[in-house]
Amino acid sequence: MTALDLLTTLVGRSLVVSDGRDRYRLLDTLRAFARSRLADGAHGLDLGLAERRLAAWIRTVVIACDPYSHGPLPDAWPRVRLDLPSIRAALEWAFGPEGDRPTGARIVGALAGTLALSGEFAEASRWLTLAAGVDSDDETMATVLRGVAVVDLYQGRFDEALRAAERAHEHATRTGVEELVASCAITFGSAAWGLGELGRSSALLRDAAATFDRVGDVRGRGFALARLARTLSDLADPDAVETATAAVDDLEASQDDWVGVVALDHLAYALLATGDHRAAAVRAEQAITLAERIGSFSGHLGALSLLGRIRLAEGDLGAARDVQQRVVTAALRVRNLGAVTDGLDGLADVFIAAGQHALAAMAAGAADSMRRRSGVVVTRRRATRAEARLALLGAELGPEALDDRLRAGRSLTPLDALALAPS
């Protein structure tokens, strides 16, 4: 009898469940029973050995599926989601009293990017905190610190992201593995972009793209080019759109939809900077649709926030308001407070465009309160926008009225601030 015949028989006897494709699992009751037998040492079975083997297998799986690694990732994302219960079990063992902490740290380093893109920030932070405390080799520490930086990046904590990314890059450089160095350079360059260090960002991302091009890694090159295009947009570089288009082409060729969302988002960002609002909206909507289909929560949130800016630039205030409300609501669900702050700032801009300056000041106050509580960094771009926003509101309302409205806004919860917008 083949393994498939045996599994088919077990499914027929309701001992094993099939997902209809190529995945099988024990019923929960049988899983618990089997684990108890292992723990009892029945028939010479060893629970510790089984847990160690599971962790070793999970290590192989997640490294192969690491979105911030190099090389193709066929069907990686669905596989990780299906294996999450086993991954969590392996990590609980690895960081437990009888576990293997270096193995756990390596799993976390490879898993962090997936959790960040899925919006699982609390879980990612929990595992990363444990992993960062392990005395590991340079390769493992590079991936763990890269993971710390990625989680911080997606929540707008650019200062922390830059520190972690720089350390990750140092560890990666010591390994001599140029693909790992390039991977960490993407995160490093992204953090530098967030803090407005555009020259540094451009240099790091160009180096990463060149490395991936030299080793023939189309997917890695596409990821680096996508991030580079965003930096070039802020530098007003005329090559930004072409660079972003090349990134989209690379990621379509490598069939990586998850990072493809990022590339589409950054192409929309570059098009918005040129004033081509229609083309920017098309690309942002493509990114949103793709992110929704594959379950990339962070990709969806980023593209949605960008679409709100595009609708505002088009003068479609109703659509812009609706999009910013969706951003805040979605970000609250996963406690991405950086995105909540961005959504509230975006809502303030919509109110300004509508001539509702008192409401704009209250929304800006709510955003400021959230920013202070969450530790979200005020980047140069954000600071410039905030200064322009407050200057305009001060001219319209007067200093005293502006202070009153800002103070009132700081007492609002994000949901209270959303209620300011007329339906």
Residue 102 in domain: yes
Alpha helices in 67-120 (DSSP H): 76-94, 101-117
More confident: 61 or 30: 61
Among 178, 203, 235, the domain boundary falls at: 178
The reported pLDDT for the residue numbered 333 is 86
Amino acid making up residue 304 = L
Give CA separation, 307 vs 244, 319, 327, 338, 368, in Å. 17, 9, 10, 17, 22
CB 162 within 8 A of CB 192: yes
- Of the ranges 167-171, 217-221, 368-372, which one carries the lowest mean pLDDT score? 368-372
Distance CA 79, CA 341 (A): 33
Residue 298 in domain: no
Q: What share of the chain is helix, strand, coil (3-state, %, to 5)?
A: 80, 0, 20
Among 133, 154, 178, the domain boundary falls at: 178
- Of the ranges 12-26, 70-84, 232-246, which one carries the lowest mean pLDDT score? 12-26
Distance CA 303, CA 313 (A): 15
Phi then psi for residue 299, to 5 deg, are -65, -40
- Dihedral sign, CA of 312, 318, 319, 321? positive
Residue 185 in domain: no
The reported pLDDT for the residue numbered 21 is 55
Among 178, 193, 228, the domain boundary falls at: 178
CB 336 within 8 A of CB 121: yes
* CATH number of the domain where residue 43 is located: 1.25.40
Residue 276 in domain: no
Amino acid making up residue 302 = G
CB 290 within 8 A of CB 261: yes
Residue written as token pair 């793709």: 290
CA-based nearest residue to 301, from 321, 324, 322: 324
DSSP 3-state of 95: coil
Q: How confident is the model at residue 50 (pLDDT cuts 50, 70, 90)?
A: confident
Residue 96 in domain: yes
Residue 267 in domain: no
- Of the ranges 67-71, 112-116, 244-248, 378-382, which one carries the lowest mean pLDDT score? 67-71
pLDDT (tens digit, 9 = 90+) per residue, 3-28? 666 766 766 666 666 655 556 666 66
pLDDT (tens digit, 9 = 90+) per residue, 266-312? 999 999 999 999 999 999 999 999 999 988 888 899 999 999 999 99
The reported pLDDT for the residue numbered 14 is 60
Tally of domains in the chain: 2
Distance CA 211, CA 183 (A): 10
Residue 307 in domain: no
More confident: 25 or 361: 361
DSSP 3-state of 25: strand
Residue 84 in domain: yes
Q: How confident is the model at residue 31 (pLDDT cuts 50, 70, 90)?
A: low
Element containing residue 229 per DSSP (H, E)? helix 218-234
> Cβ atoms within 10 A of the Cβ of 388, count?
12
The reported pLDDT for the residue numbered 229 is 98
Domain that holds residue 57: 36-178
The whole-chain average pLDDT of the chain stands at 88
DSSP 3-state of 196: coil
Distance CA 387, CA 144 (A): 36
CA torsion, points 368, 371, 377, 382, in degrees to nearest 10?
Answer: -40
pLDDT (tens digit, 9 = 90+) per residue, 308-353? 999 999 999 999 999 999 999 999 987 888 889 999 999 999 999 9
Phi then psi for residue 310, to 5 deg, are -65, -45
Phi/psi region, residue 250 (left: phi>0; alpha: psi -120 to 50; beta: rest), is: alpha
Q: How confident is the model at residue 51 (pLDDT cuts 50, 70, 90)?
A: confident
Distance CA 58, CA 127 (A): 15
Share of the chain above pLDDT 70, in %: 85
pLDDT above 60: residue 58: yes
CA 394 to chain CA centroid, nearest Å? 36
Distance CA 261, CA 284 (A): 9
Phi then psi for residue 18, to 5 deg, are -105, 145
